[in-house]
Structure 1
């Protein structure tokens, strides 16, 4: 596949997009770093090039190369912007026998997949991080979470172990209003030490517009409970916020950020996503033409019902111009509040000791050489240069795990599917010649940037020259910079914050065009 044809894939990586790559290694959103070489980039030299950035140390551990993602697909209902692999289950399923049976079946499928990894891997796999994403994992019964955690780590034949156990990051996504103190105490006892809280907004009207079930009162109560169970010093939680949603004004966005930094205890990490209107979603049907370029043309949308003929007025969709302002404002405001903007959508709080509380798990996706296992519906793994996507439909995933269990019961020497050339969706896995594309896309998401000396060492100088040629656009427009230019080292290139990140699609596309000429 040519780099020019991969340009479309870049669009899911940068603004404007609600991209849950930081949470869900799905077949649609994941961008991999397939090379198995460790990254040569030292985070200690990663102060942002901007004078108002906080100088910070990084909390990542470069000695461990594996992460693990577990997908729990349950949601109360599908949000109006969502096209992910989920299973809507309704509001209260405590006594719903149908849900209990489905959950038992899904749990067994996940455990079977874990067992298969163990039976096809000669040595236990060291993990830097575990991430339970969704969906809404906090809707899963505690028994399900316990059984999955036990299967991952506890038996003698369990496939994984925590390297530097006291320093391992174990995250679970939770939605406000879906858990209580008992639930939090239970997940703490299981070993979860980080919570990703799906806040999205503090405005009840905006939450309703997005189709979210919770309201702002649920957000504040959830954080109170996190503090009560984990203690103020150990309340390690991240929040997600979404910009560019229908009805959101510039003033509303500034208030959202103001409310976020005033939370107590403060979130140690904030992820900001700009809404992507996806085809097939509720918003896709309403705002199918996408955003207007400037705010003067953004207006409410009136849609007539095909059945009753009655018209419904939907809030305006913020323009591309307004979304760009929201992004720039967020970057400057959060950096002024001691949050390090270390990746396009990610901000880490820098504490008094100079430690930036980055997501250890998410950094694996953006590293050169990062590898991760993934388990569950619709998840995508990246192991030994092979990216493997599991089926997205629940029935297909359950059938797939049953077939695998039967097949490997007959032939224990068979190669596991996540190392084969086709994946659970019948698509071709990606590896090899596309490595450099993934490296460029993931590294230019980060404030560290792309190390050209590594490219020169693992590819050749013609690739470096092509990358520099494509990056000239960023240099000419003051959207990027080249660092460490000397006779001994080629140095690195990185996009500037915020405008370089904002136009990353264009810059990366330009680089791919130049790389095509090398491959031809």
Structure 2
């Protein structure tokens, strides 16, 4: 039976102190100051326009990403969150995640974000080695990274529910010992959540035009295996390809994303995914993906709207779209969710899943599918079966 999935909200703040050479996100280095108040007004006007496509729905989670949202003042973040709550209902115990850069963190500002309604920080550490931070174009040093995590720990007594540390591996010239030393320093700070992911060279980045020398595939796999063992021994559970958490501290926003939930995206270049159900006569689901105007100047141009494009996902594309998200998660995937969120019969994907089971990429029970460790390693090959 068709049903609407939970609804989340992504808020994009596009400014950074400087652009990192590996970053392919929609971010812009600050040159002449940030028009904070003006941008906030546009964010809320953008949300006003989007509310028409999600009538009578409540927010499951909020994620403030970038860019570097911590370039905004605590008062600015409070204005955004109070404006959101005034416009749309929110579920009880709403998770509000905000990304923060250790180089833009001060104790008073961090506490101000929590007072504004932030319940979870995601802190972009990336490495605890000074040379690697410099190579990655980061503006903070190892001491600032540790200080940010310590501040977050202290604020858990003042309303902060959780925090995440972002850490990269497979860095230029990195060996196994260096990667594990980085990871151990992160574990020692005792974050409830750790995102541990491999550096990849993305198109249209500085690293793409001047690629650094990265570890070979065999070395990367050794780092992944040993790092996973280290995290597991420290009490972290892997629940997504690159995400580990202590029990009860999975990221609700990311879970909704990977479970094929809906989300509004407001702000420069923000993406959204919205499901609309048919009526009693037309019992189908229409899933649309939206993209907002990318550049801040164009986004804040009052002569045009905020929406850049809307794309309807065709029925024959839905299996790939669904499993591209769902098989990022290690948890069992209820078969009923596939029909409930796509409107398609399980029989439409039976041949592809039978092949995935045969190849050892997926396990199959009467009620669930679940990616196997072999499937995690060869995720791209698994997803190709649904094209």
TM-score by length of 2: 0.88
Aligned to 2:13: 72
Q: Does the CA-based 8 Å contact 1:470-1:512 persist in structure 2?
A: no
Greater percentage in strand: 2
- Change over 3 Å in CA distance of 1:432–1:438 after alignment to 2: same
Query: Contact 2:62–2:96 at 8 Å: present in 1 too?
Result: yes
Partner of 1:87: 28
* The one of 482, 487, 494 aligned to 2:370: 494
* Contact 2:270–2:291 (8 Å) recurs in 1: yes
SS in 1 for 2:65: strand
User: What's the secondary structure of 1:246's corresponding residue?
Assistant: coil
2:203 corresponds to 1:279: yes
Q: Which residue of 1 aligns with 2:101?
A: 175
Contact 2:8–2:60 (CA under 8 A) maintained in structure 1: yes
1:440 aligns with 2:323: yes
Note if contact 1:109-1:402 (Cα within 8 Å) is conserved in structure 2: no
Relative to structure 1, the CA distance from residue 84 to residue 182 in structure 2 (aligned partners, 3 Å threshold; closer, same or farther) is same
**2:378 corresponds to:** 503
SS of 1:238 mapped into structure 2: strand
Q: Could you list the per-position Cα deviations for residues 396-433 of structure 1 after superposition, in whole angstroms to 9, with x for gaps in the alignment?
A: 2223x64238xxxxxxxxxxx6xxxxxx1x47443544
The one of 163, 169, 191 equivalent to 1:267 is 191
Contact 2:288 2:311 in 1 (8 A): no
Corresponding position: 1:115 with 2:48: yes
Determine helix, strand or coil for the equivalent of 1:446: coil
- Cα distance in 2 for residues equivalent to 1:363 and 1:403: 34
| Counterpart residue number, 1:317 | 214
SS at structure 2 position matched to 1:99:
coil
Mapped contact 1:199–1:241 kept (Cα < 8 A): yes
d(CA) in 1 for partners of 2:347, 2:54? 40
2:250 maps to 1:338: no
What 5-or-longer segments of structure 2 have no aligned partner?
A: 276-286
Change (3 A) 1:140 1:463: same
Which residue in the other structure is 1:394 paired with? 296
Q: Which residue of 2 aligns with 1:106?
A: 39
Residues 163-206 of structure 1: CA distance to partner in whole angstroms, max 9, x if unpaired? Answer: 11xx2111111011212121122111111111101011111111
1:378 pairs with one of 250, 257, 269:
269
Separation in structure 2 between the aligned mates of residue 467 and residue 443 of structure 1, nearest angstrom: 15
1:239 aligns to 2:178 (yes or no): no
Change (3 A) 1:76 1:429: farther
- Of the three residues 355, 361, 385, the one matched with 2:253 is 361
Question: Following TM superposition, by how much is the alpha carbon of 1:455 offset from its aligned partner in structure 2, in angstroms?
Answer: 4.5
Whether the 8 Å contact between 2:22 and 2:205 is mirrored in structure 1 is yes
5 Å-filtered alignment, 1:151-166, equals 151-154=83-86, 158=87, 160-164=88-92
Q: Tell me the alpha carbon deviations over residues 318-359 of structure 1, each in whole angstroms, 9 at most, x when there is no partner.
A: 112222222222222212221111111111112xxxxx3100
Q: Flag as ranges the 4+ runs of structure 1 deviating above 6 A.
A: none
Partner of 1:127: 59
5+ unaligned residues in a row in structure 1: which ranges?
Answer: 1-34, 39-63, 91-97, 288-313, 351-355, 406-416, 418-423, 514-520
Q: Is the 8 A contact 1:81 1:210 kept in 2?
A: yes
Superposed displacement of residue 215, structure 1 = 0.9
1:28-76 Cα shifts (integer Å, max 9, x gaps): xxxxxxx9636xxxxxxxxxxxxxxxxxxxxxxxxx8111110011111
Q: Which residue of 2 aligns with 1:290?
A: none
Q: CA deviation at 1:472?
A: 3.7
Which of 512, 516, 519 pairs up with 2:386? 512
Deviation at 1:454, TM superposition (A): 4.9
Q: Which has the higher contact order (CA 8 A, sep 6+)?
A: 1
Distance 1:469 1:390 in 2: 38
- After superposing the two structures, state which structure 1 stretch, 170-179 or 458-467, moved more: 458-467
Match among 147, 171, 179 for residue 253 of structure 1: 179
TM-score normalised to the size of structure 1?
0.67
Partner Cα distance (1:346, 1:141) in 2: 28
Counterpart CA distance in 2 for 1:237 and 1:36 is 35
SS in 2 for 1:512: coil
Q: CA deviation at 1:262?
A: 0.8
Q: Distance in 2 between matches of 1:467 and 1:508?
A: 9
Aligned to 1:93: none
* Number of positions where the alignment pairs a residue of Structure 1 with one of Structure 2: 374
Asked whether the 8 Å contact 1:226–1:235 carries over to 2, the reply is: no
- Classify 1:152/1:206 alpha carbon distance in 2 versus 1 (closer, same or farther; 3 Å): same
